Structure formats: C-alpha cells, structure tokens
Structure 1
C-alpha cells in the first residue's frame, strides 16, 4: 500500500469519527473484521494464547490486545497509548436559546481549541444519547447530523477594525453560541431541539434522558501541496496516532510475533485524563492485571511483567512553521515528512528519558525510518501527554513520540503524508521486537 493510500485510510477514519464515541465504534469495526472478540468488564475473562480481544469503557475509551504465547513475565507488555478526544466545543444541556429573532446553540469549550478557527465553518454535531429503553434500562445510542446545521459568523471588519492587528478575540460565554435557526413562535427552543434529536435517534422524545454532543466540521479531509505531500483534516490530534497504532496492531506479522501487544486509546486527555476512562484512571492497569490473571500469573509474576514492559505514548508534535520562527527552540525545530518526533523535557512533561529514547531510535533504524528530536522553548510552558501519568502509575518505561503537524488544536490541522507511514512502520518494529 502506498503512503498516500495509508493517509487516505486515515482521512476516512477521521471522517467517520466526528466524536470520541464514533471513533471507538469505527475502531471496533476494524477489530471485529480482524477476528477480535469483545470482552466485558463485568464478565469473567477466558483468554487463549494467540487470542485477539478488546474491551470498551463507557463508549469512548478502548483497549485492544493480543495475548502472546511467550512468557509474560519474561517478555512483558508492548503498549501503544494515544487518545480519542480532541479539543473543541460541546453543546450545553439546555441547548437552544432565543436571542432576538435568532435561535443560538449554547456551547462549552472542551480543552484548549483555537477558537477563532471555528468561525465561518460548516459545523454540525455528533455524539451519544442516553435513553430509557422499553425494558426500563438506561442505554446509549450514537447520533450524527451529516448536514451543516450550525455556524459562527465572523463580525465584519467594518465593526471590528483592529481584528487583523490584534487577532480575533472571542468571549467564551457571550460570543461563542452558534447560530442555528430563525426563532419560531410555534415551537419552544427545547421542543425544537428534542424533535431534532429524536429524528436521528428513532426514539420517542420521552425516552431521551441526556446527551453528550460534540461540535464538528463537516468538511472532509483532503490532500494539498504542490506534490500533494501534505494533508489536512480535523482531529489529527490525536486520531492520527490512534489510527497508526491500530494499523500496526492489525499487521499480520505483528499479530504472529508471540508478544503480548496492547493498544490503549483513552478519552479525556485534552482535559487532564482524570476520569474513569482517562489515562489517569484504572482502565489500563485493570486490563493489564486481568490479562495476567487470566494466564494464571501470581502477583509477583505480574509485577515482573510490568518491569519488562514498554510503552509508546503517541501524540502529535509541533512542526516548524516558517512564518513564526521565534515560537520555536532554534536548535530543535522539527519538520513534516521528516519522520517521527521524540519529545524531550527535563521537567517530566514527557515520559522520555535517555534509555527509552535510545530504544525508540533503534526501532526507527531497524525500520529504516528517519527520526527527529523536539524540545520546547524554555521560556514558554510546555504541554504534556498521557505518557508521564501512565508510566508513573504502572512503573513501566515509556517514550513520548508523535508526528509533526501544523495548527495543533485548530479545527483544521495539517501534517505530512510520509510521516503517517513512517510511524506505522516503527510501531510494527516495536510490536515485533523479540528483545
């Protein structure tokens, strides 16, 4: 498969995944097609050597794994971690409200998006609905509106003369509500929204109890550049890493390696990961322990397995943008289409250290893939990832890596075509490693 074809698969994956809940379903479909079996956290697990399994927690976090036939205490777990959520806007519980002759959709900021990029886009919403079934149980159902329903029009320059000099500044409470419709005397806002929601869910209005809805850009991903060497889409941070990890896991040579392979994709990274389904929760430790228990390992052997384990914490990195040279550490600029980026920070904002860094470099060399090293400007606060908290919680060695991209946290991000294939190749080497 060509590098461009692999990116096209990524764009198709993102376009099918307008919310974390949809992303998990899209990955679940790929796993089922590869003969993986779904497990439930509420049931006993019977795991076979060579077996392929996955488990979902609360619809938006998923862990897929292959039970290796090698001794777990001697070989450990080989883990790839990423996150399913992206920064953006979430719809408030009382969604619609009237303002003059218009109906506006109230939204809350999720994480740290570049808010100005949400203006003048063809927006809609998707997510999950919680409802009471005919049997009286609380169940969930995904919902997605394909058509453009929402918009955040810019204020004309005639009324905001300094916008080009000072940048667009939006008050999160008063200037972010999205335009939805002309107001109607025949329908109250809550009634209109309820009818809209149930039209997609095929439920009765009285069944719907609550919802979690994500605003998304309806424009599909695309290639660009003189040689079509770049691509753009929403949610590259971090669905691109999820797709790369899943692609590596489903590689047949990795599946036959004999290693115990794990892909853990968490929700809530963009808001701190401190939740039942976040990387700072119990989902991954619980799953790893249950794999060990299903293989009849004692506690000491499980701890030995953790000590032999390694994790790739994969999240996107900041590519050099030549229009803003002073934003970057001059000796640590990284570029798109130049290979995976190893992220380094002395204050442990990343989990990388010299040994894990060297190990990742060796896998890159084995895969014949170039690599780069990134360090943030010392006078600008550095972001973080799931790497430090996960490696600390489990006591396993970890390295923070990712592909370089532009416009991180914009509603429209860009990256290089070559890098996606590079990352998949390194991940495959990691999964197949026999050391």
Structure 2
C-alpha cells in the first residue's frame, strides 16, 4: 500500500472552512476581513480622511476588499506588490420578483450569473445566501445553509433522447428551483421567509442580493486523500491563499507595500464599482500615496515599480479529454501553481513577468507549471489584462490547476493551495 499523501493539513483544512463559510462574495470579504483583523489590520472607511500611519489597513465595498500593509519607513513612492483575485463564482441568483411556481409547485425565480456548468446544479440540495438591505439603509448578511431548494432533473422516461443526444437545458425554463408546494404564487413569500429566519420585522427588507449554493461541504477525496472537492474554488482558493500570505508578511521590514485586491464581478466582465475594471484599486493605492505625503510624481514612481499577481484557477489536464489541451502543456494537480501565458493578452504574463514568478517560486522552494490553451480552443481571461491596462502596472497571471471549473463543485489537489500561498509570501516579501 502506498504512503499516505503528505500536505499542509492546517492550510487545506482552513481552506475548506473558508469555502464552506463563504457562499457569496459578501460572505467571502467578511471572512477575509475577520482573518485580517486577527492579524492586526484595521478597516478604513472610504468616506473618512486617511492618515499616513504604518500598519495593516483594508477597505470593504460590497463583494470586494482591498487590504494593504504599510511597513515602517515606507516612502510615498514605495512600490506595491499586489495579489489580485476575485470573490464571485458562477451560480444562480434570485430575481427581483422571486416568487414563482406552477402545477402545485412553489418555485424561486432565478437568473444565470456568469457561465456555470448548468447541469452541475441539477438534483443538488441547495441553500440560499446573500445580502439583505433594510429599510434604514443598513445591510445584513444571511445564509440559510440547509437543504431549502432543488432544481429537479427530468426523468429519463420523459426524455429518451438524453442518452443519445446529451442533456439540453433551457436557461429560462429548466433551472428554476422548487422549494415547496402550493397552488397559488404568493408575492413576497421568499423575502418574508428570510425576514422570519433572521428575526427581522415584516416589511423590513427593501432590497436583496441573493444566490443559491450547494450545501454539501468540501471534502477530501481519493484513496490517499490527495484531492479536495468543494464549491467556489474559482476563485476563493486564490482569495484564501492571498489572505494567508498578506497576514504572513505583515509586521516585517519590506521593500514593497504588499496588497490584497479581491474583486467582485470577474465572471461577467469586471465592469462595476467593485470589479477590477472599476476605479477601486487605483483609488485606494493613490490615496495611500497621498496620505503618506506623496505627490502625483510619487504615485507615478510607485506605480511604475509595482507588480501584480493575478491569481485565478486554471485547467488541469483532464484524463477524459486530453485532446482539448495543448499537446505540450499538461498541468497536473499537485504539481505546483501554474503560470498562464497567452500571446493575445487574454493573460497578462510576458517574459519579464515569468522571471518575477520564477524568482518567487525559487525563493519559496515551490515548483510551478506553465499553461497555454490549445490553439483551437478559445482562451478565457482574468483580471490580469484589465489591471495591467487600467493602471499601467506590470501584471502576470498565475493560479492553481483544477478540474470541473465553473461546476457547482470543483476539484483540486491537496498540495497546490499551500504551495500557491507559499509562493505568494515570497512574492510579497520581494
């Protein structure tokens, strides 16, 4: 019998806890902030005047968080070392008029967010989570983390062609979950249920951002437990690793100012006030320079020396579809993080960026792999090119290789999350 697989159990266990506790971007940033608070970081409000003091700080805005650590002796022109990631994942999100149903079934009206593998949401026990906005303008995070709804698949007896022609799903008609029985659609029923679940008065909720999630917890998988199965690895795996790395380097003497930038809305183009194509990161970095007494010239110098790691999951070679991958680039799980390259700038990595990443991995004693897409397959993209173009910052794309990307439940190797975090630590330390 082979030796049990060896990995950083503490980091992987903590990742699984983080995934389970973060069913939405709003929960992800709240959990990230809580971890940073324990490392000595303090929240600063965008509406307040900022000072130039040293230490760890962070800004929250919706489903995004920007955190940075100003080391002792940092000058206004000190460059940044940024790890960028995103908090959102493809899923099903509740519509403005959520109450629906037909033929004795009560349903929840949902809209498709991003590009999910839609079949992965079928016949799965689903909870409901998100953010409620109350009549007084405050917000409340909610999470019904128990089997509440389900998208039932059509029995094969009623669609014999599914075996020969494959499953075909209509986004409007076939993905509305059921959550009870009743012959009459009752407007306000879902929100009234959430008000009751969270001890809120009837009519107190005036706005909502809600989404469904699988309630099945993350789990180790495989004969030797060398794999991890779980939700939202794309891209909370990177957010978790970056949070751990930033906390690890805080309190040290550093030649750079380390930054975590976790954005929302990457899965639908990043064009929002909390997305990578919005002004949030640039505003925070600029204000940090000015708060330390810097000028526009100092900001330009700082940005010119800044490097950003855009960290997002990538594709491990699939054993059943190896022909879909580039024939000479076959990233494997537990082979170390991947460096993503695309000459058409779907990824931001160039040769000089590769050298930065290679140096960080060498310093951390972390192996890494290279990823390019098959020339016949369209290449996805990340926040990397957006960050590089919007801020004029050298950016490179990295991540962890996984299977089942955009499924309700994805798969990675147990070694890769902590290897990624270790490489990030080396990168942030410079």
Contact in 2 for aligned 1:69/1:259 (Cα 8 Å): no
CA deviation vs aligned residue, 1:66-123 (integer Å, no higher than 9, x gap):
0123444664001000000000110111112120111111110000000000011010
Deviations, residues 213-271 of structure 1 (Å, cap 9, x unaligned): 01100000000111101001000000000000000011157744353110000000001
1:231 corresponding residue in structure 2: 228
Counterpart secondary structure, 1:288: helix
Q: Which residue of 1 aligns with 2:38?
A: 33
Conservation of the 8 A alpha-carbon contact between 1:72 and 1:305: no
Q: How does 1:50-65 map to 2 (within 5 A)?
A: 51-57=55-61, 59-65=62-68
CA contact (8 A) 1:351 1:387 kept: yes
Q: What's the CA shift string for 1:184-216, capped at 9, x where partnerless?
A: 56xx52242232010123222222111010110
Return the offset for 1:165: 3.2
- Deviation string 1:170-193 (CA, Å, 9 cap, x unpaired) is 1011111101111156xx522422
Which of 98, 102, 105 is 2:101 aligned to?
98
- Equivalent pair of 1:232/1:412 in contact (CA under 8 Å): yes
Judged with a 3 Å threshold, the aligned counterparts in structure 2 of structure 1 residues 72 and 380 are, in CA distance, closer, same or farther, namely farther
Residue 4 (str. 1) matches residue 1 (str. 2): no
Q: Is contact 1:223–1:232 with CA below 8 Å preserved after alignment?
A: yes
Residues 254, 79 of structure 1: CA spacing in aligned structure 2 closer, same or farther, 3 A cutoff?
farther
- Residue by residue, what CA displacement relative to the aligned partner does 1:4-58 show, whole Å, maximum 9, x if unpaired? 2211100100100010011111111111111111000001011312x1100011x
1:307 paired to 2:304 = yes
CA distance in structure 2 between the partners assigned to 1:203 and 1:258 by the alignment: 49
1:374 aligns with 2:378: no
- Give the Cα–Cα distance (whole angstroms) in 2 for the partners of residues 254 and 156 of structure 1: 58
Q: Distance in 1 between matches of 2:173 and 2:167?
A: 14
Q: Corresponding residue for 1:167?
A: 166
Residue from 332, 347, 352 that aligns with 1:350: 347
Q: For the aligned residues, what is the CA RMSD?
A: 1.5
Partners of 1:90 and 1:214 within 8 A in 2: yes
SS in 1 for 2:365: coil
The yes-or-no answer on 1:107 pairing with 2:110 is: yes
Corresponding position of 1:148: 147
Provide the rounded CA distance (Å) in 2 between the counterparts of 1:166 and 1:294.
62
Partner of residue 80, structure 2: 77
CA 384–254 in structure 1, closer or farther in 2 if over 3 Å, else same: farther
Paired with 1:70 and 1:393, the residues of 2 have a C-alpha distance of: 28
Q: What do residues 360-419 of structure 1 show as CA deviations (whole Å, max 9, x unaligned)?
A: 011111111111111101111110000001111111111100000000000010001111
Relative to 1, partners in 2 of residues 1:243 and 1:47: Cα closer, same or farther, differing over 3 Å?
same
1:283 to 280, 285, 290: 280
Corresponding position of 1:43:
48
Residue of structure 1 equivalent to 2:211: 214
Distance 1:314 1:80 in 2: 7
**8 Å contact kept, 2:68–2:258:** yes
Partners of 1:69 and 1:302 lie apart in 2 by: 18
CA shift digits 1:127-161 (9 cap, x unpaired)? 0011112xxxx111111112111101111111222
Q: In the alignment, what sits opposite 2:138?
A: 139
Instruction: Give the TM-score normalised by the residue count of structure 1.
Output: 0.95
1:76–1:307 CA contact under 8 A, matched in 2: yes
Distance 1:116 1:324 in 2: 18
| Runs of at least 5 residues in structure 2 that lack an aligned partner in the other structure | 1-5
Q: Secondary structure at the match of 2:146?
A: coil
Q: Which structure 1 residue ranges, 5 or more long, are not aligned? A: none
Tell me the matched-pair count.
425
Q: Secondary structure of the residue that 1:145 maps to in structure 2?
A: strand
> Could you tell me how far apart the structure 1 residues matched to 2:182 and 2:210 are?
22
Deviation of 1:283 (Å): 0.3
User: What corresponds to 2:244 in structure 1?
Assistant: 247
